[in-house]
Amino acid sequence: MNNIWAVLQQGVAAGLVALFLLILQRIFLDKLSPRWQYGVWAVLLLRLLVPAGIGARTTVLDLWPFVEQGRVQAELHLSSAYASPWISSLPSAPWPIPPITAPQSVTDWLFVVYLAGALAWAIWFGLCAFRLHRRVGTGVPVSGPRLEAVRRVAEQYQLPLPRRVVECKWDHGPFLMGVLRPTLVLPMGWELEEKVILHELLHLKHHDVLAGWVVTLFRCLHWWNPVLWYAFDKMGEDREALCDQRVLERLEGEDRRDYGRCLLAMADDKAVRIPGATTMANGARGVKARIEAIARFKRYPQGMALASGCITFALALALVAGAPVQALMESSFANVELNLNAPRSTAQALATGQLHRATTVAGALDAYGKGLLLWWDDRETALMCQAMVRPSEEMPQVLEEWENPIQYGLDLNSMSYQEMMDTAFPSHNWWSTGPQFRGLVSDGAGGYLCQVLWYRDVDESVLIAEDRPLPEDGEDWPVEYLCHTVQVRPHGRHWTVHLLAETQGEVEFAPLSNRQGEFFGPVTWVGELDGVKVSISPAHLLETGEGLVGKYELRTWAESAWSWSIYDSSPDSPPEGPMPGCNFYSITEGLYWTVENTGDQVRPVKLWADPLWNNSGTLEARPAPQTMSVDPMYQYMALEAGDLRQGVEGGSSASGSLGDDLPYFLGPDAFQVTLAVDGGEEQTITLTKTYTTPDGGSYTLPGEEETP
Amino acid sequence: MTMQEQLYPLARRAFWGYFFVLLNINFTFNHVFALQFLPNTVGWWLLARVCREGKALRPSLGLLRSFCLVLAVWNVQQFFPTLEGQIPGLISLLVGLVTLYTHFQFLTDLAALADEALPGGEHGHKLRSARTVMVVITTLLYCYDLLFRLPALAVVMLVVGLCAYIYLLVQLWGLSKSLSPAE
């Protein structure tokens, strides 16, 4: 816990569990044994030890999404040193971590106050224990018949003996203290009551003093939380009630009634609450509850431990361990839940995005792609998508662009949002179809390179302005694309997406059939032999969800859709919401190649290209079955002087449940190209790896020199 | 009236109660309404009657009556499948735990009564075995990670659970037959 929000997260999570357990205890008050009534508090201790929202797991008592929203809302207007609006505040540890920098905002100061409070309580409890220790140190060691009586009780019930037994003048009731050197403290001259001694020795046997210290530690950590303090008090009472139960199980008949009388005699005593000490006298209210418990005393049926254990186990799983969010995503969250919980404010969008960071490469690309697709139609969801996949350091810029999209060349300050939508960005003019992913390959450093594509019809006014003929009936309407070449990087257990290059161009056909556009992938291998240049790019297409969103926004697709109507009478409606834990839905193989004759005469060329994959450091041909099947390529052609040939190999596709094995969706890591020019000898040429944009331009990876 | 005669109607009602609680046949109309042919509500109501009438024989059965009635009311939502998604997980957890305990305690008490009424204790032993399997399987269904990662295990658990249900029904039927005055 390194900021006030983390403290709040942990405290709220534990407080809710405590409230739930209190309700549950009430429901099962007369049904489950005191052992269960006390043992069930283990669930609260687990909750206190396990950081809230650990591993982004969701439990039935989660309020952390709301706290996160509050943090984003508050921190967006502050310049805190300990908290950030861009980084989730879920605690990484259940204890506070002192800051090393000076506080700079209200929330920072609140954290400092929290730390001071925790320290003050720790000092207070420490002083109390020290004072008690000193006072007990002045007590008179018990000896003779009184010590013998204590020994007799211990032997009779096979219980451990405390290291010391002392009598103190100031003491009003017997109690046990000390973890390493347990000491039984008796009031001076107190008439020795065996049942009370039995009670204290049972505390010793079950290490209740240590349990008391553990609770005291949590009291210090959560000093501001009254619900937890109440629960800790109740835990203490349940510990005493359980000890009573253990005593009663060892007594018979009249002895049980005597024990009840002993308790009644203590009803007037003030509750003694000293850290690290157990005492039978826990105040009138506590004694009343214990007398009622004694009245309910019964030996529980065989097997009750099983029922108690099962209930506690189920509670621990549901309230502490929770379920993996990713698993939920795979079932329903992806398509349904997120739409239901579509964010309605900036803070909610950012918080929800941070809480559902992409956990798969496909999920990261999907969220990134839909973030742009929904940029105008569903602004909050678009921002949430960005928060899912963009690194935190880029988020201030993302938010600025989102709030003030002047980057698109419009003075939005002078028009309303509606005007902007109606005039500057009519819906058909935005990137309405996508996202599609092309040429996914490993970057060799644990990340991946990929092209993310969106499409739209070329606007009619553009065609007219450029003096181009409008397509006749039956002709494809020109489609333009926007391509972001991105790097998907691992970030802990999440994936972030980094924009490397943006390219815009036109494709000659609707890109929705199983045909890849004839343009370069994110990585291109280039080589040359005797004036013949060869380049090869992985150009396979990948989709998530159930295909492209907004297919029917493209005229070509919408107009030709009738031909599918026998089998598919309604337009496809793949999920528009992001699916940060999804896998790829479809793959269409493809290799884009070019061969160019830079010489000044006709040249016959034979070309063989064998795709290679990196398999544990060794490049080898298709280490099946992990990789997709890209067949070796063979081309024979006669090239005129200056001729450039290009093409896309492959084209077979698969869709549906393709599994989550990422290598299956990765393009080759290298190629071995063999050329035979002018009927000469076959030669393997050396290839250079270049980073390319679709139009053949280049980009650089962060930290690398620009490729030639 | 002998113990056997007193227990017979209870055992018969317990069988029918569990028959309705454990088996589920329904027709769903447009995901809005599910016509239940063996509504759980009826099953819990029958078990509540067993608790009321069995209180004299075994006081701890009486403590379960309120739980059975609550579960009878709760299970009305079976008729409206869309409600299931709207119920907070917290309430579902609470009801799940109450159900777990009620099954355990009810069958424990019934087995104890069977032990008292019938010599040999065979029926009681089998009822307790079915009870234990049911409770353990129900608890394991909370292990979400296991279920998500090992779907085959979930299938195995469901099959074992189904077998335990059938075994339990057979035992309850056998118990009521053994207690029948005709026997």
Q: Residue A567 pLDDT more than 50?
A: no
Residue scoring higher pLDDT (A564 or B62): B62
Contacts 24+ apart (CB under 8 A), A268-276: A269/A172, A269/A173, A272/A173, A272/A175, A273/A236, A274/A128, A274/A129, A274/A132, A274/A175, A274/A177, A275/A125, A275/A128, A275/A129, A275/A212, A275/A213, A275/A216, A276/A129, A276/A177, A276/A178, A276/A179, A276/A209, A276/A212, A276/A213, A276/A216
Q: Residue A292 pLDDT more than 50?
A: yes
Q: Cβ B145–A20 below 8 Å, yes or no?
A: no
- Residue A24, helix vs strand vs coil: helix
User: Mind giving me the DSSP string for A337-380?
Assistant: IHHHT---SHHHHHHHHHHT---SHHHHHHHHHHHHHTTTTSHH
Cα A273 vs. chain centroid, distance in angstroms?
40
**CB count in 10 Å sphere of residue A54:** 14
Residue scoring higher pLDDT (A481 or A576): A481
- For residues A587 and A655, give the distance between their C-alpha atoms in angstroms, rounded to a whole number: 6
Task: Give yes or no for A469 touching B (CB within 8 A).
Answer: no
Interface of A with B in 627-666 (CB under 8 A): none
Q: Cβ B138–A310 below 8 Å, yes or no?
A: yes
How buried is B119 (Cβ within 10 angstroms: 0-12 exposed, 13-18 middle, 19+ buried)? Answer: exposed
How buried is A303 (Cβ within 10 angstroms: 0-12 exposed, 13-18 middle, 19+ buried)? Answer: middle
Q: What is the pLDDT of residue A110?
A: 93
**CB count in 10 Å sphere of residue A251:** 16
> A638 pairs with which residues across the strands?
A604
Task: Give yes or no for B63 touching A (CB within 8 A).
Answer: yes
Q: What is the pLDDT of residue A552?
A: 73
| Residue of chain B minimizing CA distance to A332 | B85
ipTM score for this prediction:
0.86
CA atoms within a 13 Å half-sphere pointing along the CA-CB vector of A326: 18
Residues 6+ apart with CB under 8 A from A390: A398, A496, A497
- Average pLDDT of every residue of chain B: 86
Task: Give yes or no for B88 touching A (CB within 8 A).
Answer: yes
How near does any CA of chain B get to the CA of A660, in Å?
A: 13
Single-letter amino acid, residue A8: L
- For residues A226 and A235, give the distance between their C-alpha atoms in angstroms, rounded to a whole number: 14
- For residues A699 and A625, give the distance between their C-alpha atoms in angstroms, rounded to a whole number: 32
Average pLDDT value for residue range A353-363: 86
Closest-CA residue to B18 (of B183, B156, B175): B175
Q: What is the pLDDT of residue A281?
A: 62
- Chain A hits for B143, Cβ within 8 Å: 317
Peptide bond into A625 cis (omega under 30): yes
Our CA angle for A15, A44, A108, nearest 5°, is 45
Our CA angle for A341, A345, A347, nearest 5°, is 100
Nearest by CB to B100, which of A30, A304, A314?
A: A314
Nearest by CB to A31, which of B63, B93, B145?
A: B63
| Residue of chain B minimizing CA distance to A59 | B89
Residue A449: both structure tokens together: 């390179």
Residues 6+ apart with CB under 8 A from B179: B4, B7, B8, B11, B117, B118
Q: Cβ A60–B131 below 8 Å, yes or no?
A: no
How near does any CA of chain B get to the CA of A259, in Å?
A: 25
Q: What is the pLDDT of residue A335?
A: 36
Confidence of residue A426 (pLDDT cuts 50, 70, 90): very low
How near does any CA of chain B get to the CA of A491, in Å?
A: 23
Q: Which helix (H) or strand (E) holds A72?
A: helix A64-75
Nearest by CB to A311, which of B100, B108, B132?
A: B100
pLDDT digits (tens, 9 = 90+) for A40-60: 999 999 999 988 877 667 777
Cα A289 vs. chain centroid, distance in angstroms?
43
Crossing angle of helices A64-75 and A346-355, rounded to 10° = 130
Mutate to test the interface with B, among A29, A300, A313, A317 (most CBs of B within 10 A): A317
Residue A554: both structure tokens together: 């493209």
| Residue of chain B minimizing CA distance to A28 | B98
| Residue of chain B minimizing CA distance to A327 | B148
Q: Cβ A324–B145 below 8 Å, yes or no?
A: yes
Q: What is the pLDDT of residue A575?
A: 63
Mutate to test the interface with A, among B58, B105, B137, B146 (most CBs of A within 10 A): B105
Closest-CA residue to A49 (of A233, A277, A310, A321): A321
- Residue A185, helix vs strand vs coil: strand
Q: What is the pLDDT of residue A670?
A: 87
Cα A251 vs. chain centroid, distance in angstroms?
53
Crossing angle of helices A346-355 and A395-403, rounded to 10° = 150
Q: Residue B17 pLDDT more than 90?
A: yes
Q: Sort residue A51 into left (φ over 0), alpha (ψ -120 to 50) or beta.
A: beta
Confidence of residue A560 (pLDDT cuts 50, 70, 90): low
How buried is A355 (Cβ within 10 angstroms: 0-12 exposed, 13-18 middle, 19+ buried)? Answer: buried
Q: How far apart are the first and last CA of chain B?
A: 16
Nearest by CB to B142, which of A24, A32, A318?
A: A318
Q: Residue A689 pLDDT more than 80?
A: yes
Mutate to test the interface with A, among B94, B99, B102, B110 (most CBs of A within 10 A): B94
Nearest by CB to B144, which of A28, A304, A323?
A: A323
Q: What is the pLDDT of residue A408?
A: 47
- For residues A596 and A415, give the distance between their C-alpha atoms in angstroms, rounded to a whole number: 51
Single-letter amino acid, residue B158: L
- Average pLDDT of every residue of chain A: 80
Query: Is the distance from CB of A650 to CB of A630 less than 8 angstroms?
Result: yes
Residues 6+ apart with CB under 8 A from A637: A595, A604, A605, A607, A645
How near does any CA of chain A get to the CA of B182, in Å?
A: 32
Q: Cβ B101–A31 below 8 Å, yes or no?
A: yes
pLDDT digits (tens, 9 = 90+) for A207-223: 988 999 999 999 999 99
Q: What is the 3-state secondary structure (H, E, C) of A627-680?
A: CCCCCCEEEEEEECCCCEEEEEECCCEEECCCCCCHHHHCCCCEEEEEEEECCC
Nearest by CB to B135, which of A30, A32, A310?
A: A310
- For residues A667 and A611, give the distance between their C-alpha atoms in angstroms, rounded to a whole number: 9
- Using the 8-state DSSP alphabet, how is residue B85 labeled? H
Q: What is the pLDDT of residue A419?
A: 55
Our CA angle for B5, B11, B13, nearest 5°, is 115
In our burial notation (b when 16+ CB lie closer than 10 A, e otherwise), range A196-213 reads: bbbbbbbbbebebbebbb
Task: Give yes or no for A55 touching B (CB within 8 A).
Answer: no
Residues 6+ apart with CB under 8 A from A388: A353, A354, A356, A357, A358, A364, A367, A371, A578, A580
Q: What is the pLDDT of residue A565?
A: 37
> B46 pairs with which residues across the strands?
none
Q: Residue A647 pLDDT more than 60?
A: yes
How near does any CA of chain A get to the CA of B148, in Å?
A: 6
Task: Give yes or no for B132 touching A (CB within 8 A).
Answer: yes
- For residues A90 and A50, give the distance between their C-alpha atoms in angstroms, rounded to a whole number: 11
Helices and strands, number each (H, E), in chain B: 9, 2
Residue scoring higher pLDDT (B112 or A189): B112
Average pLDDT value for residue range B51-74: 90
- For residues A203 and A242, give the distance between their C-alpha atoms in angstroms, rounded to a whole number: 10
| Residue of chain A minimizing CA distance to B128 | A303
Range of lowest pLDDT (A97-101, A265-269, A436-440, B74-78):
A265-269
- Chain A hits for B151, Cβ within 8 Å: none
Range of lowest pLDDT (A45-49, A322-326, A471-475, A535-539):
A322-326
Residue A209: both structure tokens together: 């003093």
Task: Give yes or no for B29 touching A (CB within 8 A).
Answer: no
Residue scoring higher pLDDT (A708 or A347): A347
How large a percentage of chain B has pLDDT more than 90?
27
| Alpha helices (H) in A138-207, listed in sequence order | 144-156, 194-205
Residue A160: both structure tokens together: 């451990």
How near does any CA of chain B get to the CA of A233, in Å?
A: 23
pLDDT digits (tens, 9 = 90+) for A268-281: 665 556 777 776 66
Q: Cβ A306–B101 below 8 Å, yes or no?
A: no
pLDDT digits (tens, 9 = 90+) for A384-416: 898 999 988 888 888 888 877 544 445 555 555
Q: Cβ B104–A307 below 8 Å, yes or no?
A: yes
| Alpha helices (H) in B55-150, listed in sequence order | 59-62, 65-74, 81-86, 89-117, 122-140, 144-149
- Using the 8-state DSSP alphabet, how is residue A455 labeled? E
Q: Cβ A24–B94 below 8 Å, yes or no?
A: yes
Q: Residue A558 pLDDT more than 60?
A: yes
Backbone angles phi, psi at A485, to 5 degrees: -85, 120
- For residues B145 and A320, give the distance between their C-alpha atoms in angstroms, rounded to a whole number: 13
- Chain A hits for B161, Cβ within 8 Å: none
Task: Give yes or no for A56 touching B (CB within 8 A).
Answer: no
How near does any CA of chain B get to the CA of A293, in Å?
A: 16
Task: Give yes or no for B139 touching A (CB within 8 A).
Answer: yes
Q: What is the pLDDT of residue A494?
A: 87
Crossing angle of helices B89-117 and A304-316, rounded to 10° = 170
Q: Cβ A303–B100 below 8 Å, yes or no?
A: no
Query: Is the distance from CB of A38 to CB of A251 less than 8 angstroms?
Result: no
Residue A511: C-alpha distances to residues A428, A652, A666, B73 (Å) = 17, 15, 20, 56
Residues 6+ apart with CB under 8 A from B2: none
Residue scoring higher pLDDT (A119 or A565): A119
Task: Give yes or no for A29 touching B (CB within 8 A).
Answer: no
Task: Give yes or no for B131 touching A (CB within 8 A).
Answer: yes
Q: What is the 3-state secondary structure (H, E, C) of A549-607?
A: ECHHHCHHHHHHHHHHCCCCCCCCCCCCCCCCCCCCCEEECCEEEEEEECCCCCEEEEE
Q: What is the CA radius of gyration of chain B?
A: 17
Interface of A with B in 297-316 (CB under 8 A): 301, 303-304, 306-307, 310-311, 313-315
Closest-CA residue to B123 (of B176, B58, B161): B176
Does this model's pTM top 0.90? My answer is no
Task: Give yes or no for B99 touching A (CB within 8 A).
Answer: no
Range of lowest pLDDT (A22-31, A458-467, B87-96, B142-151):
B142-151
Query: How many beta-carbon pairs under 8 angstroms link A with B?
Result: 76
Our CA angle for A8, A10, A13, nearest 5°, is 100
Q: What is the pLDDT of residue A562?
A: 46
